Amino acid sequence: MSEIHDLLVLPYLNHAVRMYEADYASRADIDAAMRFGCGYPEGPLTVIDRIGLDVVRDRLAARFEQTGDHLHQPADLLEKLVAEGRTGVAAGRGFYTYADGAVAADEETPSADDAPQLRHDIATVGVVGTGTMASGIVEVFAKAGYDVVVVGRSDDKLAGVVKGIEKSLDRAIEKGRLDAAAKEQVLGRLTGSTSREALADVDLVVEAIAEDLAVKTELFGDLDRICKPGAILATTTSSLPIGDCAAATKRPEWVIGMHFFNPAPVMKLVEVVTTEQTLPEVDETTKALCAEVGKVAVSCGDRAGFIVNCLLFPYLNDAVTLSESGVALDEIDAAIKAEANFPMGPFQLLDVVGNDVSLAIQEELLKEFGEPGFEPAATLRDKVAAGELGRKTKKGFHDYS
């Protein structure tokens, strides 16, 4: 089991170090992203500190000697910190600083005064879309006290959003988390429309439509025409460039990514993605708004995969490649749950996410980074070609019929 752990988890940890090394995201945001986006008990940099940077470095070096794969070569920062004696919890300093085994404040620890503030008033939120993600986002904002304007293609689609939210609220009532009066207040904050013009006076628009760049850019061009000056235009895309959406407008500085995780009412994470043109006050307001609605916001730049997908999907792809060598799926899943304490094994997770989604993201990562090790596994391509996409088709790496 420990060998499977090292084969799959060590490269994931190495990727996280390189992400931090490149100053793409802070150590706290990298760790929070994997904890709240994937349900991992610890973030990758915290894991390395616990295991020991020298131990992780040595195990990676041994793996690199076997494979020659650049992705297994210990990150330069890992080598540097080990040389400085920053080997983790036992040494009192690794990626974090420790006192008596607990994380202590240091020069990278943000102060309470650094907490994001709402630099713009947000009273009314617009959501474009009626699918699962859009409906979840509508529920998040309405439950937090915001008036929400939902724009969909038909009255039936809009009615479906309301019905879905009603069911969710009824479940909360059954569990004693909500009462009937609060349910009516939430539903009373919803306004549906089949016309985008209804978004003219909203303070923030969240786009949650199909992952098709042409469709999204057309929408952003229209939002630019419709929405009032000072309205923040956000996209929930998980894989497409935020900058391309921004370029479709005459106000690119007001465009930002808000990548919610599914199901939005349950998952705590939102990746807040800025382009080089995004105004700092727009970034700060968006992060403060996430806190207002009970979410954990992490910051990152506009590149494929953001934080979570960039770290998660190469690990899933490596698991498929490992299975091609003859290691049983159940053995891999069991080893990862036992050794890494992840809530699901890679094949369980692939079937939940969808093999088509996994393949599309892995292809985007290959295109973005050009790493030969990011080439999608042949079995993953075969599953998608056969229509075996996971739970949604009743068959993926496991059979659910």
pLDDT exceeding 70 applies to what percent of the chain? 100
In the chain, ranges of CATH 3.40.50.720 domains: 124-301
Q: Catalytic pick from 139, 207, 271, 364?
A: 271
- CATH class of the region 124-301: alpha beta
pLDDT reported for residue 299? 97
pTM for the full predicted model: 0.95
Neighbours of 102 (CB within 10 A): 9
pLDDT reported for residue 113? 81
Are 10 and 72 in contact by the 8 Å Cβ rule? The answer is yes
Nearest by Cα to 82 from 108, 47, 57? 57
Q: Catalytic pick from 14, 135, 168, 238?
A: 238
Predicted confidence pLDDT, tens digits, the chain (401 residues): 588 999 999 999 999 999 999 999 999 999 999 999 999 999 999 999 999 999 999 999 999 999 899 899 999 999 999 999 999 999 999 999 999 999 999 999 988 888 999 999 999 999 999 999 999 999 999 999 999 999 999 999 999 999 999 999 999 999 999 999 999 999 999 999 999 999 999 999 999 999 899 999 999 999 999 999 999 999 999 888 999 999 999 999 999 999 999 999 999 999 999 999 999 999 999 999 999 999 999 999 999 999 999 999 999 999 999 999 999 999 999 999 999 999 999 999 999 999 999 999 999 999 999 999 999 999 999 999 999 999 999 999 999 98
pLDDT reported for residue 328? 95
- DSSP-assigned beta bridge partners for residue 148: 125, 190
pLDDT reported for residue 1? 57
Angle (CA) 287 292 298, round 5°: 30
In the chain, ranges of CATH 1.10.1040.10 domains: 2-111, 308-393
- CATH class of the region 2-111: mainly alpha
Q: Catalytic pick from 239, 299, 309, 355?
A: 309
Q: Catalytic pick from 15, 72, 120, 259?
A: 259
CATH number of 308-393: 1.10.1040.10
Q: Report the distance separating Cα 332 and Cα 342, nearest Å.
A: 12
Q: Report the distance separating Cα 213 and Cα 290, nearest Å.
A: 25
Residue 238 among the catalytic residues: yes
Q: How many CA atoms lie within 13 A of 312 on its CB side?
A: 30
Residue 262 among the catalytic residues: no
Q: Are strands 296-301 and 269-274 parallel, antiparallel or unpaired?
A: parallel
Tokens found for residue 261: 């995780």
Residue 271 among the catalytic residues: yes
Residue 401 among the catalytic residues: no
Q: Report the distance separating Cα 344 and Cα 346, nearest Å.
A: 6
